[in-house]
Amino acid sequence: MSDKQESIKQAAIALFAKRGFDGTTVPLVAEEASVGAGTIYRYFENKEVLLNVIMQGEMLRLEQSFKENFPYDRSIREQFSHLFIGLIRFSQENFESIMLINSHTTSRHLSDQTKCDYTSLLTFLSTIVEAGREQEVIDRDLPIEAIVAITFGAVVELAKCFNGGELTLTEDLLETLDEKLWRAIST
Amino acid sequence: MSDKQESIKQAAIALFAKRGFDGTTVPLVAEEASVGAGTIYRYFENKEVLLNVIMQGEMLRLEQSFKENFPYDRSIREQFSHLFIGLIRFSQENFESIMLINSHTTSRHLSDQTKCDYTSLLTFLSTIVEAGREQEVIDRDLPIEAIVAITFGAVVELAKCFNGGELTLTEDLLETLDEKLWRAIST
Amino acid sequence: MSDKQESIKQAAIALFAKRGFDGTTVPLVAEEASVGAGTIYRYFENKEVLLNVIMQGEMLRLEQSFKENFPYDRSIREQFSHLFIGLIRFSQENFESIMLINSHTTSRHLSDQTKCDYTSLLTFLSTIVEAGREQEVIDRDLPIEAIVAITFGAVVELAKCFNGGELTLTEDLLETLDEKLWRAIST
Amino acid sequence: MSDKQESIKQAAIALFAKRGFDGTTVPLVAEEASVGAGTIYRYFENKEVLLNVIMQGEMLRLEQSFKENFPYDRSIREQFSHLFIGLIRFSQENFESIMLINSHTTSRHLSDQTKCDYTSLLTFLSTIVEAGREQEVIDRDLPIEAIVAITFGAVVELAKCFNGGELTLTEDLLETLDEKLWRAIST
DNA sequence: TATGAATGAGGATTCATTCAT
DNA sequence: CATGAATGAATCCTCATTCAT
């Protein structure tokens, strides 16, 4: 992948995350990426396509971070920790990605493919939750969607705190959060 | 307050919530409010002022809903339920308000006053949490900001599920959620 | 019809005729029409629609000038004169219209409707020619299309000469041209 | 002359004829010519120079086709046939050249030299007409410019018909057209 | 007071031209 | 020589805002 294409994508991720798609101008992306405005159109058909490409890319990266070293043969509790801690860590290192994904999942600019990719990301999480419910370690009173919503919603807001400096992520806090969120969903 | 001013505000709340401030045009607000575009400028100096006015108004409404019948003389557990269940109910009846507040709290279009109002809303919640920590019913291992983030983040994502139809709010579910989220923050 | 809409159309006719559609910028039309550039989009969806509207309008005016006082009950020779002299006169008074029509009939920017309108204009002429052929006053050796082409082509080039000042239209010349062109197509 | 230069010119002739100078992009010419866009600037200073070069070249080719085997020592009638039939044949084999010349003679992109070349092409024709008038075989009532306009205008429109398939050129039709157009200008 | 036509600054996108490879 | 990636000026079009009615 070209150097310029990559820097355009990074600039777009940062700017779309911070200002939103509609609040970000193409020349602004160009400046942030240190390329000419016209160059963006050499790599992306238009601004909307750029959004979809980076959304798909970042969701894929998130999914890969979930799946990397996933403890398929360990307990649901450990699987939850893998996902939760992985998500917190991911959002520390890729704050803009998480903000981008969270704030644009309902964007009217998303293509069907991008929406589909998002669904498949959720499906992966649902599968784990479902397994936990069958083992009766995750509470059946809570619908799957609620479990994902609580966890993901909490992480996003926590990430904002970490990024804004209101909160500092320590290993202790990470452990506490993992424990607390598990309490919120377990039987 | 004039009838037209009110319908402009309602239209703006709905549209800013759904499409974001930058994705919403003034003529679109005018059409949704069934007024002429020029009329909006009779009541609001400009689009940015309109955002700030409705943000302040909706945050005030939320704060009032928190404070209304607040059980100051009951247990922290009951106070939490009042806030949590109140927030869920508020977001059921005022989905757009919650989305508006959640998605625009970091907007670059907010005035200092609006940011200040947001802070004061958080301060109120922090006060309750602080009291809980002093009574040792809320876990000291969790920073106040983390507790607010977890709760608010969870509610926002849950509200999206309720609104999107993926989840239906029953009294039972509400009770379960209240219980679960309390488990996430209590000692 | 609004004053501004009309002046936009007049400006566009003049400019599209002189510089061609692609060589004419919207701000140039706006300046020529003494309106703001944005105003053009209040009346015409886009530049292409503007072209189609004026093409249809000018072709209609030409057709009406053909049909006005058309001597249906006179000889083909007189009918030819009516059309030929009418066309020359029309192109004197509406030089830009004729240039617009002539230079944009094969434009890739024309809508199906506009192409259709052009065809119907030709159909009217063909009908007259056909009648002349049946009366054996117009030469059968010449296909209808050739007759229309010769006459229309000649008029367009003559109009350029009149407009450029290389030729001056007198009543005598008009009569001569009518006589000569008739000789070119009659038996 | 380089192979590439020639294919650039051929591509430009075809595209400028079909889409007009302003409607033709340099990359489009490059693609049609199967060369890189930058290569065009190796042979032509800029797009405008390219237009002028091909205009001059095609007008020269037309002039040469007029002058080749020109029957200087035959009758004006035969000279007219040579020119008229030559022009029709030229426009059959070089439709794009004729369209290019016809549609760009008044272009604002032409250099003085190109305009001058066009004038000299007309001058050659005028000379013949003038001779015909002196011999009183061409009608003095018709100004020279009118004669050229009628003939050239007719040929251009006829060429469009032949090219569009509405008319098919046969030897008979060619003879008829020659005869008819001569009738239009002769005494 | 209410309107919506009018405006022009600003944003998305294209394309003539350059230049490093 | 040839290329095509890169550029930014210029183009089409939108929309926040104004103002005459």
- Mean pLDDT throughout A38-47? 97
C-alpha C80/C-alpha D102 separation (Å) is: 27
User: Any residues with CB less than 8 A from the CB of D40 and at least 6 apart, and which?
Assistant: D8, D26, D29, D30, D33, D50
In chain F, which nucleotides are within 7 Å of a protein Cβ?
A: 1-20
pLDDT surpassing 60 at residue D154: yes
Mark whether D83 and D137 lie in a shared domain: yes
Which residues are in reach of strand E, CB within 7 A? A 24-27, 37-38, 41, 46-48; B 2, 4, 35-39, 41-42; C 2-4, 35-39, 41-43; D 24-27, 37-38, 40-41, 46-48
Where does residue A160 rank: exposed (0-12), middle (13-18), buried (19+ CB within 10 A)?
A: buried
Chains D, C in contact: 3+ Cβ pairs under 8 A? Answer: yes
Higher pLDDT, A152 or C187: A152
Radius of gyration of chain A, Cα coordinates, nearest whole angstrom = 18
D146 touches chain C (CB under 8 A): yes
Residues B64 and B120 reside in one and the same domain: yes
User: In terms of domains, do B66 and B84 share one?
Assistant: yes
What is C83-144 written as a DSSP string? HHHHHHHHHHHTHHHHHHHHHHTT-TT--HHHHHHHHHHHHHHHHHHHHHHHTTSB-TTS-H
CB contact at 8 A, A119 and B140: no
- Which tokens hold the place of A21? 């798609």
Q: What is the mean pLDDT of residues A115-138?
A: 93
d(CA B178, CA B77): 10
Condensed to tens digits (0 to 9), the pLDDT of residues D68-91 reads 999 999 999 999 999 999 999 999
Together in a domain, A114 and A179: yes
With 80 as the cut, is the pLDDT of residue D145 above it? yes
Protein-proximal nucleotides of chain E (any atom < 7 Å from a CB): 1-20
Give the model's pLDDT for residue C187.
86
Beta bridge partners of B138: B186
Cβ-count burial C12-21 (b if 16+ within 10 Å, e if not): bbbbbbbbbb
pLDDT tens digits, D8-18: 999 999 999 99
D39 CA – E20 C1', rounded, Å: 14
**Within-domain flag for B137:** yes
Residues B20 and B99 occupy one common structural domain:
no
Answer yes or no: is pLDDT of B1 > 90: no
**What's the pLDDT band for C2 if we cut at 50, 70, 90?**
confident
D1, pLDDT greater than 70: no
**CATH of residue C24:** 1.10.10.60
Contacts of C98 in chain D (CB under 8 A): none
Domain identity same for C18 and C89:
no
* A56 and A80 part of one domain: yes
The pLDDT tens digits for C65-111 are: 999 999 999 999 999 999 999 999 999 999 999 999 999 999 999 99
Residues A56 and A11 grouped into a single domain: no
**Which residue has 């308000």 as its token pair?**
B97
| Same-domain status, A4 and A69 | no
CB pairs under 8 A between C and D: 109
- What tens digit of pLDDT does each residue of B143-165 get? 999 999 999 999 999 999 999 99
Distance C63 CA to F17 C1' (A): 44
**Residues 6 or more apart in contact with residue A47 via CB below 8 angstroms:** A21, A26
Residues of A in contact with B143 (CB under 8 A): 167, 173
Statement to judge: residues C135 and C108 lie in one domain: yes
Asked if pLDDT for residue D123 goes beyond 70, the answer is yes
The rounded distance, in Å, linking the Cα atoms of C88 and C57 is 19
Question: What confidence score (pLDDT) does residue C1 get?
Answer: 53
Which CATH number is A168's domain given?
A: 1.10.357.10
Q: Model confidence at A19, in pLDDT bands (50, 70, 90)?
A: very high
User: Cβ of D150 under 8 Å from any chain C Cβ?
Assistant: yes
Q: Are residues C127 and C169 in the same domain?
A: yes
Q: Which domain holds residue A21?
A: 1-44
C117 and C60 in a common domain: yes
Name the domain count of chain D: 2
Mean pLDDT value across residues B93-101:
96
